[in-house]
Amino acid sequence: MQKGLVWFRRDLRLHDHAALASAISSCDEVHCLFVFDPEILSKLEDKNDARVQFIHDSLVEMQNQASIEVRYGDPKKEILAYCQEHEISDVFTNRDYEPMAKERDQAVKEALSSKNIKFHTFMDSVVYEAKRTLKDDGTPYKVFTPYMKRWLSVLAEDGFEVANYQCDLSKIVKTKNSINSKDWMKEVGFHSCKPHLEAGTQAAKKQLEAFKKKISDYTIMRDFPAADGTSMMSVYIRHGNISVRDLVRAAQSGSTEGHHKWLSEVIWREFYQYILDQFPQVEKQAFRPAYDQIKWRGGKKELEAWKNGETGFPIIDAAMRCLKATGTMPNRLRMVTASFLCKTLLVNWREGEKWFAAKLLDFDLAANNGGWQWCASSGVDAQPYFRIFNPYSQSKKFDPDGIFIKTWCPELSNLDEKSIHAPHELLPMEQQLAGCVIGQEYPAPVVDYAKKRVEALAMYKQALG
């Protein structure tokens, strides 16, 4: 009898799952395992981290459909021990493209190989890996648009269809240490907390169906934070509650500009995964090495004001308070707040990358690093360094009535749509009448935007020559 073990990681679902489908089709008996890795968890300083709860809750939902063994420890040791306990001959898992994950998987493979246990990996978290989307000369793309054209040409070669792996769960055997066997949040050193978004496949599918009803307006509405115009799918794809192929099928459900824009965003995600896979050095350094020479002039004062949403720039503060409270932030505001940190506060983009990594419910190394380097102009196909988002014009354009600002900065609630974007420009009497005295109820701008714009350009020019 051939016994297989499916090792779940960032693919917490039981449908359209490449590794699970392969194990089911090739084995007589299938075991499922999730390992809480202390090396990863020890780096999370906040013991109320909603991401750990999100993973926990996803496992609870999976357990209601099929038995999942849960363990805590070094994956190499835990997987090998489980295989020996249950006479497993083959281990199945989906590939992860992060540098640390590649090293971990290689260590697991070698440990299993020493005991004659086969280790099978599958493409699942992306639609196409690099081997199908390289240039004709075999080198990787470094610009998004040509990459997207290549990606779409491969989709056309495949008849515009993506795989849909069928998973018959009847072969999955029961295990004793499920997510329900003990208080696993306490076991791994975290407190129970409630994520801003409900975890699991059912919640993911419900959210995707709701988004499909408004996807035709996606191109325009995605930029307005008060309009709920984004898909809110990033956290579900990050934890694998839903497959990337589900997202592609949603994009193919219509032919509006919104459907096309949504597909391009899915491809952007693939592009950043591709870049991290092909250029792993971006985790530690700028994609464009010259940008590592920048002498950042901003300090701790500016950084802390940015983190806490106390910069005196309403759209920035609203976005940062939203992030801190919910672990989410619309993409437009991620770009605006990142540009503001780098090119207005003149703080090293790595500080912002670390803060987002600690706070985002949908944190993904490839996307977070790619997005920050894009905003800092140091990354692949990044905006030019002289393009600097103006927080005032961005606020007026995308939150014209100040609805999003008032949601997260209630001290500004009495201001009208003209004054809310730059309340420090109000006369002292006007501030008193609005019940918002700058420097008391709401902070004064931590810097002068116009002056800092000039300084930012000089800072970049000095480093780049």
How much is the pLDDT for 383? 87
The H or E element that residue 8 is part of is: strand 3-8
Integer CA distances (angstroms), 426 to 141, 414, 418, 422, in order: 49, 13, 10, 8
How much is the pLDDT for 461? 95
Same domain, 98 and 206: no
Assess if residue 185 is contained within a domain: no
Assess if residue 174 is contained within a domain: no
How much is the pLDDT for 95? 98
Task: Please give the structure tokens belonging to residue 259.
Answer: 């459907």
Q: What is the pLDDT of residues 176-227, one digit of tens each?
A: 899 999 999 999 999 999 999 999 999 999 999 999 999 999 999 999 999 9
Q: Cβ of 216: how many Cβ atoms within 10 Å?
A: 17
Same domain, 117 and 134: no
Q: What is the pLDDT of residues 402-441, one digit of tens each?
A: 999 999 999 999 999 999 999 999 999 999 999 999 999 9
Which of 251, 278, 305 terminates a domain? The answer is 278
Same domain, 244 and 380: no
Residues designated as active site: 265, 268, 296, 331, 349, 372
Q: What is the pLDDT of residues 36-51, one digit of tens each?
A: 999 999 999 999 999 9
Same domain, 156 and 121: no
Q: What is the rounded radius of gyration, in angstroms, for the C-alpha atoms of the chain?
A: 24
Same domain, 452 and 417: yes
Which of 221, 245, 278 terminates a domain? The answer is 278
Q: What is the pLDDT of residues 48-59, one digit of tens each?
A: 999 999 999 999
Assess if residue 152 is contained within a domain: yes
* CB 241 within 8 Å of CB 204: yes
User: 122 pLDDT band (50/70/90 cuts)?
Assistant: very high
**Predicted model pTM:** 0.96
* DSSP line for 74-93: -HHHHHHHHHHHHT--EEEE
CATH of the domain at 249: 1.25.40.80
Same domain, 139 and 55: no
* CB 70 within 8 Å of CB 178: yes
Assess if residue 339 is contained within a domain: yes
DSSP β-bridge partners for residue 90: 4, 118
Total domains in the chain come to: 3
Same domain, 247 and 300: no
Assess if residue 195 is contained within a domain: no
Over the chain, what is the mean pLDDT?
A: 97
Range of the domain at 354: 289-464
DSSP β-bridge partners for residue 70: 34
Same domain, 274 and 311: no
User: 292 pLDDT band (50/70/90 cuts)?
Assistant: very high
Same domain, 89 and 207: no
Which of 234, 258, 278 terminates a domain? The answer is 278
Among 205, 253, 263, residue whose Cα is nearest residue 232: 205
User: 465 pLDDT band (50/70/90 cuts)?
Assistant: confident
